[in-house]
Amino acid sequence: MCANQTKDNGDQPILVYVLSGYLGSGKTTVLQKLLKGAKARGWKAAVLMNEAGDVNLDGELLAKDVPMAELLGGCICCSVKNDLGLSLLQLAREHRPDVIWIESTGVAQPLEMMDAVTEVSMYAKLELRGLITVVDARHLLDRLRLGAGKTLRLMREQIRGAALLLLSKTDLVGRGEAEEVRAQLREWNPSAAIEDALKGETGTDLITLLPGAVDIDVRNHYHDRHGHNHDRQGHDHGAPRLHDHVHVLTHYPSGPFSSENFERFLRELPASVYRAKGIVTFTDTAARYLFQFAYRESDFMPVASRNPAPDVIVLIGEDFSASDLRERLVGLGTGTD
């Protein structure tokens, strides 16, 4: 496939991954490996790079044929949050990639960052599949020796929020120290996959470790064979592949459901779901609604019925069962819940 060819993915969501990790951990090296693996598979990839400074030097290291947007002079989770949405929408609509990787600044708060990314799901068919955190073994070990501090707290939050942990720079610590770091990662995040990533290289194909990557392979398989997108009957494109401990669940309802049932669903969400938001259509009201759920409180605001955005429900939290909650959402639409 030519590098400048834009493939029509039809109704398939564009998968989005956030690449996190403290300053100097090796995120850009990992990103280069991901892009190389994507190109080998025939995926169309795009990149959104966030730098706290005013110059994006890391972007100069990427191939020129990769669509890229830059967010400079701030952090995704605070000062450039609104710009993120515009940049993601532009990448999605202009280039229609299979996958978008967001390389965040090293000081970004993961849950706030996920919240910012999932806002875009209400305006374009994007699906945040998870946070990948690169951990500098030497730096984390030094911070653990020092004890409490803002940097250690931020590193812990970046680790706790990840679906995949990539341990870099293990060549700079001893074998026993590396095991100490791995034990700490497992204590902070019992469910994430942990892989060594020396200079971005992993023992397993890095692409295969990504939650949901199989969706892109199968999507392209059918596109290449039949010249169009073929929806695999009975397959749930949003189902988790590697872990049931996802931190973001994006669900596109197939139809409207009862407002009473949906409000009950929100009230009964597990405490580990911190945020929920989206656009929904009800069977018993005339308007569509934009909803927000936080701190166990929900708020609904009517939106214009001609709004082209798809109905979508996004859940954000830690260690909840994505499959159970998705089953309940599907049940709402069929009247079985």
Q: At 19, is the secondary structure helix, strand, or coil?
A: strand
Name the CATH topology of 14-214: Rossmann fold (3.40.50)
* 234 φψ region: left (φ > 0), alpha (ψ -120 to 50), beta (else): left
User: What is the chain's pLDDT, residue by residue, as a tens digit (337 residues)?
Assistant: 333 333 444 568 888 999 988 878 888 889 888 998 888 888 899 998 775 443 343 444 455 677 777 664 444 454 455 677 788 888 888 889 999 998 887 777 777 777 777 888 778 888 888 889 999 999 899 889 887 788 888 889 899 888 899 999 899 999 999 999 999 999 999 988 899 988 777 877 888 888 766 556 555 544 444 444 433 333 343 433 333 444 678 888 989 999 999 999 999 999 888 778 888 999 998 888 988 887 678 889 888 765 567 888 988 776 788 889 999 999 887 666 5
- Decide yes or no: CATH 3.30.1220.10 for domain 244-334: yes
Contacts of 280 (CB under 8 A, 6+ apart): 253, 256, 257, 262, 288, 289, 291, 311, 313
Same fold, 14-214 and 244-334: no
Query: How many C-beta atoms surround the C-beta of residue 175 within 10 A?
Result: 8
Reported in sequence order, the residue ranges of the chain that DSSP labels E, i.e. its strands, are 14-20, 45-51, 68-72, 99-103, 126-136, 164-168, 193-196, 245-251, 273-281, 288-294, 297-303, 312-321
Domain spans, the chain: 14-214, 244-334
